[in-house]
Amino acid sequence: MHIHILGICGTFMGGLAALARECGHRVTGCDRGVYPPMSDQLRALGIDLIEGYDADQLSLRPDLFVVGNVVTRGNPLMEAILDASLPYTSGPQWLSEHVLRDRHVLAVAGTHGKTTTTAMLTWILEHAGLQPGFLVGGIPANFGVSARLGGATAVGQTRPLFVIEADEYDTAFFDKRSKFVHYRARTAVLNNLEHDHADIFPDLQAIETQFHHLVRTVPAAGTLVVNAREAALARVLARGAWSRIQRFGCVKEEPGCLRARGEPHAFDVLRGSLKVGRVEWALGGEHNQLNALAAIAAAESVGVAPEASCAALARFESVKRRMELVGSAPVQGGEVHVYDDFAHHPTAIRTTVNGLRRQLDRQAIQQQRNGRILALFEPRSNTMKLGTMKAQLPWALEEADLAFCHSAGLDWDAGEALKPMGARATVCSSIDALVEAVVREARPGDHLLCMSNGGFGGIHQRLLKALSQTVM
C-alpha cells in the first residue's frame, strides 16, 4: 500500500510514518515545514518528503491519505482530496487499524510527563526482554528512534506489547475526539490532569470527559494506573471505572498503593509498608519520581516485577529535550551551562525549574558549589498564546533567579503578567534581544534553562556562541 501523510514532520505523524515503513508500505508525506531532526530521520528510512500542501500532490495517486491534526479546512491539498472523493483517514485511526490491533497496548496519558513516562515504561519492558513496540513523542536516548513495531509475542504474554504516548489533543479536523480513544488500551496510565489545550477545551471538566472516554475503552481484564494525588483523576474515576485500578504516588501509607520514600534521585519504592525496589538514577525532580512510579506500576500489569523495573531505571537515559545539557560556554572565571527542555505549560515550567534547583542544591552539598538558574521561555503553545494561564507565570518561575521571556506573537502583555517578579523578569520581542540580555547578565556558574515546545529560534547555539565570544 502507498500512503501519503499530511503533516508528516510532527512527532506523532513522523513516528507513524516510520511504523508504516517498517510494516512494508510505501510512504510519502508533506508538511508546511519539512525540518530536521524528523525530516532527516524520515529520509533515512527512504520516505520522500514534499514541502507544502499543493493540490498537485494528488498526482502521486496513493492508496490512502493519512491526515494529521495540523491540517484544517482550506488546506489546498485537503480540499482537493475532498473534491475528488479520495480515501483518507486520521493518523490515530490508521494506527489503530494497522498496528495496534491484536496487541496489548499500554497507553500513557496525562497533561505532563507523557513522553518521559512512555520512554521509561518502554525501556523497562525492553530491559525485561519483552521487545515492546512503541511510539513516543520524542527520541528516547536508550533507543535512538521515536517508534518501532517491536518483536513477536514475548514469553508469558498472549499478545505483543505496544507502548504509546496517549495524547488528549483532538484527532483531526473531521474527528474531534481525543487521539487516545482510538488506541484501545489494556493498560492505561493516568499520570496527572489539569487544564491545557485551551484552544479546544473550554475548561478542565471538558478534558475530564475525554479522560473518562479513555477509561471506558479499557477492558475489565485491563488495568488503570492512576496518580493518587490528582483530584481531577478522582473525579474521572467517580464517573465510573470497570477495570482493575493500581494507584501510585500516595503521600501516606495506603494498602496496595505504590509510593516513594527518599529523594527523587535515590528512593525506595514501597507498596503499603513493604519495600519492593529502589531507584538510583541520574534524573531529578519530584515529577520524574512520580513518572517512575507510574512506569513501574504499568510494567507490573504485564508481569514485570517492581524490583526488575527499578534495576532498569538505573540505566534509563531520558529523552531528548528533557533537561538536556546542550553545551557549556567558557566565560571569564568559569563556565555557563545551557539546557534545552520542552516545558511550556506553567506547571511543567515550575516542575522543570524545581528539578534543576534540587539538582544544583545537591551538587552544592556534595561539591561545595552552586549556581544561579536563568530561565528562558517562550509562551508558544496554543494555550499560552491565548493568555489563558499568563497569571500563573510568576508562580511557575518562582525558583528561578532571573527570567527572560520571548514575547513575539503574543496578543497579551507579557511584561504586565510578569510584573510581580519585578526586576527579576525581562521581556524581549526578538531572539536577538533576548540573547543580548542574557549574555549581559550571565556570570560564571550560571545555568541557562531554555524552555519551549518549539525550536526557540535556535537560541541554544546562539547563546553558546555569544557567550564564547565574550572571552575572546
Residues 172-213 pLDDT 10s: 999 999 999 999 999 999 998 887 666 777 888 999 999 999
Separation of alpha carbons 273 and 412, rounded Å: 50
Pair 403, 425: CB distance under 8 Å: yes
- Phi, psi for 265 (deg, rounded to 5): -85, -10
Residue 469: per-residue pLDDT: 78
Q: Average pLDDT of 40-61?
A: 93
Pair 125, 299: CB distance under 8 Å: yes
**2-90 and 324-469 have identical folds:** no
Task: Using alpha carbons, select from 409, 416, 463, 396 the residue that is nearest to residue 436.
Answer: 463
Separation of alpha carbons 117 and 107, rounded Å: 10
Q: Average pLDDT of 370-396?
A: 82
Q: Average pLDDT of 339-359?
A: 82
Q: Which residue has the higher pLDDT, 447 or 470?
A: 447
Residue pLDDT, tens place only, 6-27: 999 888 999 999 999 999 999 9
Separation of alpha carbons 447 and 458, rounded Å: 17
| DSSP bridge pairs for 280 | 266
Q: Which residue has the higher pLDDT, 457 or 33?
A: 457
Q: For the chain, what are the domain ranges? A: 2-90, 102-313, 324-469
Residue pLDDT, tens place only, 409-464: 888 888 898 999 999 999 898 999 999 999 998 888 899 999 887 778 888 888 98
Separation of alpha carbons 431 and 423, rounded Å: 20
% pLDDT > 70, the chain? 94
Burial class, 468, CB count within 10 angstroms (exposed 0-12 / middle 13-18 / buried 19+): middle
Task: Using alpha carbons, select from 166, 180, 159 the residue that is nearest to residue 136.
Answer: 166
Could you tell me whether strands 334-341 and 324-331 are parallel, antiparallel, or unpaired per DSSP bridges?
Answer: antiparallel
What's 324-469's CATH class? alpha beta
**Segment holding 215, helix H or strand E:** helix 204-217
Pair 86, 263: CB distance under 8 Å: no
- The domain at 102-313 falls in which architecture? 3-Layer(aba) Sandwich (3.40)
Pair 349, 403: CB distance under 8 Å: no
| Exposed e or buried b per residue across 423-438, where buried means at least 16 C-beta atoms within 10 angstroms of its C-beta | ebbbbbeebebbbebb
Residue 35: per-residue pLDDT: 66
Residue 362: per-residue pLDDT: 67
Residue pLDDT, tens place only, 104-162: 999 999 988 889 999 999 999 999 999 999 999 888 888 988 899 998 665 566 789 99
Pair 439, 466: CB distance under 8 Å: yes
Q: Average pLDDT of 218-229?
A: 97
Q: Which residue has the higher pLDDT, 275 or 392?
A: 275
- Indicate the pTM of the whole model: 0.81
Separation of alpha carbons 10 and 92, rounded Å: 13
Q: Which residue has the higher pLDDT, 97 or 157?
A: 97
Split at pLDDT 50, 70, 90, the class of 368 is: very low
Residue 156: per-residue pLDDT: 62
Residue 80: per-residue pLDDT: 98
Where does 2-90 sit in CATH, by number?
3.40.50.720
Q: What angle, 0 to 180 degrees and rounded to 10, lies between the N-to-C axes of helices 431-441 and 459-469?
A: 40
